Structures are given as structure tokens and as C-alpha cells.
């Protein structure tokens, strides 16, 4: 029985690792190292309750744990320095570099939102969750979740338009 549960958990982690890691990167403002830690910590919590939620909704449980942990972590710790494995090189021209630059701009703008706004925007528009589920994940009323998402999107528009508009 335990081996079967272990196998189910392993299969879930294998199938969803990259998606969870991408969600974690968005929730942590693009910090890959914090995102990996967030996914690992959330999966440890999932493992402890796997018998209860493994057959029902493990992904929803992990999303909720990740969103709450990311918000809590952002309130508690200072993340001013961000280590990188390698110094970035100059951008390579081409279609791919434009897409990467656009994604980087968006991740940078997401990082400037409050943790709850970032979580609401990511869950609502990246994960495409309905307002009710976003509110459940954030542990707040639906109206508050909508407010966080609305303010987050408005702030993103402002941040991204500041970069686009030419000076002069």
C-alpha cells in the first residue's frame, strides 16, 4: 500500500515539476533559487498529507501551499541580493531573444507587485483559476481576491507602459 502511494506521488512530481517550478518563479518574482526552494517545501507538505489529497486534488493543494508560503516568505525575509550562476551575456538577436526579453520584463514587473497582488495575478491569469479558487488559495473573501488581482493588473500596466513609452 505504501509503495503504491510512493509511486503515485513520484508520478505526480515527475509530471508536474516543470509547471510547479514555473508557477513558483512567477510567485517569487523570477528568483529561480527561491522558486526551487518553494516547490520543494510545498512538495514536502504535500507528501505529509498525500494519503488525504493524493486522489482528490494534489495540484490545487500544492498551489495553495505555494501561494501562501511565497506571500509569507516575502513578508519575512529580505531578498535584495539575488545570486546568479553566471554573469548574463549580451542579448542574441532574433525572435527567441525578443520573447525572452518580453518574459523577463514581465517577470521583473511581477516582482514589483506586493506578494498578495502577485499571487492573485499569477493564479487568476497564468493558472486561469476562477476568482473563487483564487480567494480560497489566498485565504480571503472573493472580493478581496478580485481587488488584489485588479490592483496588480493596473500596477503591471503602469510598470510595463513606463518602459515602453519613449522619452523625449
**Whether pLDDT at 28 is above 50:** yes
Quote the percentage of the chain above a pLDDT of 90: 40
Q: What is the pTM of this model?
A: 0.56
CATH superfamily ID and name for 2-77+94-164 = PhyR, sigma-like (SL) domain (1.20.140.160)
Check if the beta carbon of residue 62 is closer than 8 Å to that of residue 107: no
Does the pLDDT value for residue 32 go beyond 80?
yes
**What pLDDT does 161 receive?**
87
Give the pLDDT of residue 91. Answer: 55
Query: In the chain, what is the straight-line distance between the N-terminal and C-terminal CA atoms, in Å?
Result: 69
* Distance separating alpha carbons of residues 58 and 47, to the nearest angstrom: 10
The reported pLDDT for the residue numbered 100 is 78
Question: Which of 7-11, 82-86, 108-112 shows the lowest per-residue confidence on average (mean pLDDT)?
Answer: 82-86
Residue range 36-64: mean pLDDT, rounded: 89
Cα 142 to Cα 131: distance, rounded to the nearest angstrom:
6
Which of residues 91 and 134 earns the better pLDDT score?
134
Residue boundaries of the structural domains of the chain: 2-77+94-164
Amino acid at each position: 500500500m505504501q509503495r503504491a502511494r510512493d509511486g503515485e506521488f513520484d508520478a505526480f512530481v515527475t509530471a508536474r515539476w516543470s509547471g510547479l517550478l514555473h508557477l513558483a518563479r512567477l510567485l517569487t518574482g523570477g528568483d529561480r533559487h527561491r522558486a526551487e526552494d518553494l516547490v520543494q517545501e510545498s512538495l514536502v507538505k504535500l507528501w505529509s498529507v498525500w494519503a488525504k489529497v493524493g486522489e482528490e486534488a494534489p495540484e490545487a493543494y500544492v498551489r495553495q501551499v505555494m501561494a501562501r508560503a511565497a506571500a509569507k516568505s516575502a513578508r519575512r525575509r529580505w531578498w535584495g541580493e539575488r545570486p546568479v550562476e553566471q554573469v548574463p551575456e549580451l542579448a542574441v538577436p532574433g525572435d527567441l531573444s525578443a520573447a525572452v526579453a518580453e518574459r523577463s520584463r514581465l517577470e521583473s514587473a511581477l516582482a514589483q507587485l506586493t506578494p498578495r497582488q502577485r499571487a492573485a495575478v499569477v493564479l487568476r491569469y497564468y493558472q486561469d483559476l476562477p476568482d473563487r479558487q483564487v480567494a480560497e488559495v489566498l485565504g480571503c473573501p472573493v472580493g478581496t481576491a478580485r481587488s488584489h488581482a485588479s490592483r496588480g493588473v493596473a500596477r503591471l500596466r503602469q510598470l510595463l507602459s513606463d518602459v515602453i513609452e519613449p522619452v523625449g
